[in-house]
Structure 1
């Protein structure tokens, strides 16, 4: 006897049922729970809108992670899903079958669709959102039982069709629906749009915020109130904010200074903040000092890329106790060592017991600075990744670095610059020299341990935008035959 694959039989049964729309809808109340995910996915992919609506209203699990199935913006699909929610909400008597509590519209992979959901006691599968979103500490008025609609929001210069539809629908259903945004990106968005969106979402629920804007200080001041309400922020990314003022009393510069200070002061309200990154963001030294003093929780990661950074800013970093438990430190494209490296050495010593990844690419590190940092680096025994690409280091000092890191068995990724001796007086790569010295450097490390992934690389070629890399074998940039 020939046995067919059960999944094939299930697929045939699902497709056969969908071909009879009225029958499929009428059968939902008697359909086994285990068949709901397969039937919903097929109806979703084949765009059976009426069946989608009916299935949402009858959904037998606590969470429906429909966002994982939505590849592109699709207002028609969204409307069908929300129509099902509305049908559920309009029932005078709560349907016996439906247990829907959370509608997840986030475009993230979800294990719910890859496993067979558990049916005991109507519990959702391991991959569904089991955790109650309204935890302790929320205002009393949001603790009433409502259906939560969870999404991420990417705000640009205007709302797209799907965003506008969701906001309009949520306003109509606001008595029964709690709209929760977990991750929000604000990119050159007009203030009136931001306020309208945050009135719908309640900033309290936002856990990740990326703010990329060229706002004036006055605009930052207007945003400060909304910003300060994001009490659950775990990740904050500030990008392309260029504000630099010299404080002069009773002038417009003084007014701007107060606007920026008000914006930065809101960070003191973020007691859950763990990850802070700044990219192309320029504040005055006084404002940087204020920012680090406003931190109220220990940071897990700090990333500062292409920012104007002074020696006094580095001193603020060293003195900030909220950075003493850092696991990840990324300083990219910052001239750290125009003055003494002692300040940064102290910072490394403060985070030595927790630091796991260290990125110091293109930070103006030379021989003397790196030599001064070696004692502090050797204390970072939990390092798993180190990157010092695009710094000017000689062969002898690079060997000293490798020797100091030789006992670090947890390191899995290492990125080192090609030594200074691999360039001619005009800065061009001497490929023969590069191919010769890199194996010697690698052997220096292999005396103590076998590196898992190690790379020695030249600066990026201005013509082909590639590097010459040695990772056990030499690979030249595209400009070389």
Structure 2
């Protein structure tokens, strides 16, 4: 049975208004304030650019979130919004009544729009606490500042058409609009253009930064001064595809880059991928981190005993909640430094990623006492490490005492492979349930699995998670 859901009077009124563009524009001073958000939303969806332009100029609230409506950024609608800002800036009557003070181009959650359009029903109040707090701070700031434009920027390979539109417009209005980028992503982007962008969107306001580059030496050298200005940076991810042959030059460049970390007074989350550390550079990193980190990720690089020794002595890591060492090459036969680091973070650590980090039986035996102390762990990942069945049993007996664990990912024991590293399917199906019984004997696991290495033919794994799921080659 189908039910007819007739449109509301408000929806009918909005549709009627949008059919007469001139009437809408001429009547904006008479339209009830609370009709503005739904009317603007429908005008945006229908690409009524002249109405959008006029509504931005007449916006009766101090805050306007446009990014939530831009599912796919379009130059036409973006230009209409920017033209509305131009109208607003030239209106002599702007100071006589409260109008737009913050234009937000970020793609924040939909309830963000509802809150500031006056349609909040409380259903998402708890989930959107941080977002509303951000808007509140922007609003308070805007009361004594010029109009503020807030956005996120993804600078990947080259500028897209809508980005060119925004940046060209912004270059001409730096004196009348305050530009703020909260989250920035840079991927193999020309340093010269980055410099132009950061001349408009000042580095001081960036809170999240993700950088990937293949031109390591030239990029790090030119970007270091900008990093030192990012005093509000909370999250930083640096990924390097290191093709540099001159190791000495790279070490010196990286040393100077890491020195800038001493200026990052708000840093909480640090991720370094493919960054090859000398001993001196690891010392410099530990010395320059000034705030207690919540998460640390050092992946896809070799780490020696001296590296872990430095990390274990860094007091700013003692409150870690997340530690990711996936893909490291463990250049030590007795990882006491990693053992001490785990002991230091045992009271706070919640997530531990040790996937594909060349751990062997001898390494795991050293780490087990420290792992047993990590009582707050909710997620562990030991996949793609060559553990034998006896040592894997020891690990599971250790993990079975940790009652907070919600996600557990373990490797299949080496006894499940032949001498060519092919999976022995029958052996896999036999051993994994036996290993799972070790956990079940002490507690009921929430999400647990045992997995083989990735099959080179089909690029899938054989997985046991209460039932055996074979890769495509064995099905």
Instruction: Return the TM-score normalized by structure 1.
Output: 0.90
Pairs within 5 Å for 1:15-34: 15-34=15-34
Match of 1:323 among 312, 317, 328: 317
In structure 2, the partner of 1:365 is 359
Confirm or deny that 1:287 pairs with 2:281.
Answer: yes
1:107 aligns to what SS in structure 2?
coil
Q: Counterparts of 1:431 and 1:231 in 2: how far apart (Å)?
A: 54
Q: Counterparts of 1:22 and 1:158 in 2: how far apart (Å)?
A: 39
1:386 aligns to what SS in structure 2?
strand
Q: Counterparts of 1:348 and 1:7 in 2: how far apart (Å)?
A: 60
In structure 1, the partner of 2:346 is 352
Q: Counterparts of 2:99 and 2:270 in 1: how far apart (Å)?
A: 38
Q: Counterparts of 1:62 and 1:132 in 2: how far apart (Å)?
A: 12
Q: Counterparts of 2:293 and 2:11 in 1: how far apart (Å)?
A: 48
Confirm or deny that 1:448 pairs with 2:448.
Answer: no
Match of 1:391 among 364, 385, 389: 385
In structure 2, the partner of 1:131 is 136
Match of 2:471 among 472, 477, 481: 477
Q: Counterparts of 2:377 and 2:262 in 1: how far apart (Å)?
A: 30
In structure 2, the partner of 1:422 is 416
Deviation at 1:58, TM superposition (A): 1.9
Query: 1:59·1:98 contact (CA, 8 Å) conserved in 2?
Result: no
Deviations 1:412-457 (A, max 9, x none): 1110011122112221111111111211222211122111111111
Query: 1:171·1:200 contact (CA, 8 Å) conserved in 2?
Result: yes
1:425 aligns to what SS in structure 2?
coil
Q: 1:158 to 1:422 in 2, by over 3 A?
A: closer
Q: Counterparts of 1:95 and 1:30 in 2: how far apart (Å)?
A: 19
In structure 1, the partner of 2:402 is 408
Q: 1:328 to 1:157 in 2, by over 3 A?
A: same
Deviation at 1:283, TM superposition (A): 3.6
RMSD: 2.5
Query: 1:245·1:284 contact (CA, 8 Å) conserved in 2?
Result: no
In structure 2, the partner of 1:38 is 38
Deviation at 1:17, TM superposition (A): 1.4
Pairs within 5 Å for 1:155-174: 155-174=155-174
Structure 2, unpaired ranges of 5+:
none
In structure 2, the partner of 1:335 is 329
Deviations 1:11-54 (A, max 9, x none): 22221211111222233223233322221111111100011111
Deviation at 1:216, TM superposition (A): 4.8
Query: 1:148·1:177 contact (CA, 8 Å) conserved in 2?
Result: yes
Q: Counterparts of 1:195 and 1:116 in 2: how far apart (Å)?
A: 34
Name which of structure 1's ranges 159-168 and 125-134 shifts more when overlaid on structure 2.
Answer: 125-134
Q: Counterparts of 1:257 and 1:33 in 2: how far apart (Å)?
A: 59
Match of 2:460 among 462, 466, 469: 466
Name which of structure 1's ranges 301-310 and 106-115 shifts more when overlaid on structure 2.
Answer: 106-115
Query: 2:333·2:362 contact (CA, 8 Å) conserved in 1?
Result: no
Deviation at 1:108, TM superposition (A): 3.2
Q: 1:443 to 1:219 in 2, by over 3 A?
A: closer
Query: 1:298·1:325 contact (CA, 8 Å) conserved in 2?
Result: yes
Deviation at 1:219, TM superposition (A): 4.3
Q: 1:260 to 1:119 in 2, by over 3 A?
A: closer
Deviation at 1:258, TM superposition (A): 4.3
Deviation at 1:372, TM superposition (A): 1.8
1:336 aligns to what SS in structure 2?
strand
Query: 1:309·1:334 contact (CA, 8 Å) conserved in 2?
Result: yes
In structure 1, the partner of 2:227 is 227
Confirm or deny that 1:270 pairs with 2:264.
Answer: yes
**Structure 1 runs of 4+ off > 6 angstroms?**
none
Deviation at 1:157, TM superposition (A): 3.8
Confirm or deny that 1:435 pairs with 2:453.
Answer: no
Query: 2:101·2:143 contact (CA, 8 Å) conserved in 1?
Result: no
Q: Counterparts of 1:105 and 1:116 in 2: how far apart (Å)?
A: 14
Query: 1:337·1:369 contact (CA, 8 Å) conserved in 2?
Result: no
